[in-house]
Amino acid sequence: GEDTLGVAARLYEEHGLPIVGVPKTIDNDLSGTDQTVGFDTALTIATEAIDRLHTTAESHNRVMVLEVMGRHAGWIAVQSGLAGGADVVLIPEFPLTVERCAELIKNRHAGGKDFSIIVVSEGWPLTHEAGVRGLTTIDDKLDAFGHVRLGGVGQQLAEELERQTGFETRVTILGHLQRGGTPTPYDRVLATRYG
Respond yes or no: is residue 143 known to be catalytic: no
Catalytic one among 3, 27, 51, 139? 27
Evaluate whether 132 touches 101 at the Cβ level (below 8 Å): no
Quick one: which of 152, 120, 147 has its CA closest to 136?
152
Quick one: which of 44, 27, 53 has its CA closest to 154?
53
Evaluate whether 120 touches 107 at the Cβ level (below 8 Å): no
Which residue spans within the chain are E strands per DSSP? 63-68, 88-90, 116-121, 126-128, 131-134, 137-142, 148-150, 169-173
Q: Which residues are designated catalytic?
A: 27
